[in-house]
Amino acid sequence: MVLLNKGEYMEKVFDIDKLFNMGPVVMIVWEDFDDGVISYISENVLDVLGYTQEEIINTEFRYAKIIHSDDLTRVKDEISSYLDKNIDNFSQQYRLKKKNGEYIYVFDFTRVIKNDNNDIVKIIGYFYDQTESVLLKQEIEKKHKRLELLIDSANLGTWVLNLNNKNVEYNDNWAKIIGYTLNELEPLSYDTWAKRCHPEDLDKALNKLEKYLNGESDIYEVEFRMLHKDGYYKWILSRGKVLEYDKDGNPLILYGVHIDIDEQKKIEEKLRRFVKYLNTAQAVSKTGSWHIDINTNNLWWSKETYRIFGLTENSFVNLDKFIERIHPDDRQKVSDALKQAIDGKVYDIDHRIIVGNEIKWVNEKAEVVFDDDKAIEAFGTVRDITLERQIYEKLKNENRLIELLFDLLPGFLWFVNKDKIIQKQNKNAKERFGSKIGEKCYMSIFCGKFLSEEHKKLLNEGIELPEMKCEFCIANESLDLKSEFSIEIEDRENKKFYKAWWIPLSENEYIHYLIDITEQKEAESYLMELAVKDHLTKIYNRRYITERLEADIELCKRANRTFSLIMFDIDHFKNINDTYGHNVGDNVLIKLTDIVKRRIRKIDIFARWGGEEFLIMLPESRLENARLLAENLRKLIEETDILRDRTVTCSFGVTEYYEGDTVDFIVKRADDCLYKAKFLGRNTVVSI
């Protein structure tokens, strides 16, 4: 055994202290917990917290004052609990305030030193910055929440097929689409679908699948009929894509959705999640230190460095042994970085090492010591960052999966922030509308065609206001009320109809989702003519406007909106019928409705209430504007030659929605105004 004299021993202690101070782990010593005075802290606290060693080892400095106020009570309670239970070694996680005011997340390990009487004589410990890992975990959780919300917002049947063993999983809605519960269909298998698929469609569906698996199409997509529980066949749109492959690169797991296209306008944007997400734990950084004599290549490793590299502690190591552990593809990169460090450049590098059959990622940092401009030694740290790398790779795969799921949606999807800027979109949205990320949604999706005339004029003048939006947009209401809203939109220019949803994700972001319902609307058009239109004038009938009044009253209650109502009738219409006959009277009604239709807005609802009485509902119009419209209509009708030898006039009653109104209340109020207009001599407007 070689004995060291005091000077040599102190030099070794100094070297070890110097090595430790270069790493990210801060050593700390207290005399007791009560006064919080720190008797020792390693110099690298300056790198971690921004304080010097002298600033902290000061009788006036208190460690508790830099612990985040939201964490302090918990930290104290945990320490008290450990001490009460005679637990001498424990760890904690909390936030510390740096000298510059910034907070970081730290991992703290503490050891309590006691004497023979079980009295505390000293507390030692260490902590290190784990902010990067915590923030990464928070980012992953945010993406999880976003995808879960998206899938839960749709009402789709999902299936997952193992192409090797034909095992298949269905969600509840898959069974619900055909009138069953999953329990009623058990035992679940591939045949659960195949036996219920229409015999004429089964081969087509299987051929489509075979062509997709052979690479002849980008996605599995097929329409077929399935037998409903009630005995009839229902049309289903099935879409799927392979997301997992076996080790040989062959398709293994096929994910898909079933969409009920019998009643497509009833589809709501609620997806069932069929993918399991990774569960990540907070990584605790393990850091070792090392020293190398550049002249002799003698290498010293700390205990943690041996563990990271998978070697027995104190076994012989040198530079060659270190190089052997580096992944062959990274050796040149590490060698170049070492040479550059000797030339005076910073040594900070991520690379792979091979430990048995495992490949690890490490981060190395070092400082080279020079003597007369000659590099003589280097001190460094090595940190196992494998878990961080794995999390980044899994996050990358997760993002890829999200993109694939977005593209499986049957409609058009955008993530939009409160400022109406598109943050993300699916493939269907980009291809149909040509919308672009980073653009205002009202311009990028519909090219500004649904802006108000005032806002269109301002845009043409180069003026853009924060409140600009499509006239039908209820995104602000959705965000304010934290509730989903949906309406139908007509794009007359392109002869398209859409069902639109606004789904809030947070205070500042929402999902905007459209489904093309043009075919359904065309099919409904004929029925609507029969059910809601007046056969003579071709405007809406009493039944339809009553239903619309009921719906708009509910919307006013929920979203703090308003509307106005105009009721008018033809003055002395009975005399016109008696004088000219009912055919002429009918022509008067038709001409009158044409005049009014050309004057009102597209969003206004014009209906024949009965006989010669009419109603006009004006969404988002206040009483004064409604009265002005009524007065304009009155003059226009009076000045138009509806009959060659007689002037046709109308009397008008106008009112606005008030809180607590029902359909009967507001119609009665408009009728009372109309009655008063008659009393005042007809051909006039009365409002209340």
Any idea which residues carry the catalytic annotation?
A: 612
Which pair of tokens denotes residue 185?
A: 């269909």
Q: Euclidean distance between the first and final Cα of the chain, in Å?
A: 108
Asked if 582 contacts 576 with a C-beta cutoff of 8 angstroms, the reply is no
Residue 341: CB partners within 8 Å, gap ≥ 6?
Answer: 347, 366, 368, 378
Rounded to whole angstroms, the Cα distance separating 101 from 452 reads: 48
CA distance 444 to 430: 10
Q: Hey, what are 478's tokens?
A: 């959705």
The DSSP bridge pattern shows strands 496-504 and 613-619 to be: unpaired
Work out the burial of residue 317: count CB atoms within 10 Å of its CB; fewer than 13 is exposed, 13-18 middle, 19 or more buried: buried
**CA-CA distance, 458 to 466, in Å (whole number)?**
12
- Burial, 357: exposed, middle or buried (Cβ in 10 Å; 0-12, 13-18, 19+)? exposed
**CA dihedral sign, ordered 497, 499, 504, 505:** negative
Q: What is the dihedral of CA 30, 31, 33, 38, to 10 degrees?
A: -40
CA dihedral (397, 402, 405, 411) positive or negative:
negative
Structure token digits, residue 394: 């899994």
Residues 688 and 683: their CA atoms lie apart, in Å, by 17
Name the CA dihedral angle for 129, 132, 136, 138, rounded to a multiple of 10 degrees.
50
Nearest to 79, CA basis, from 64, 66, 68, 69:
64
* DSSP 8-class letter at 688: -
Tell me how far apart the alpha carbons of residues 534 and 608 are, in angstroms, rounded to a whole number. 7
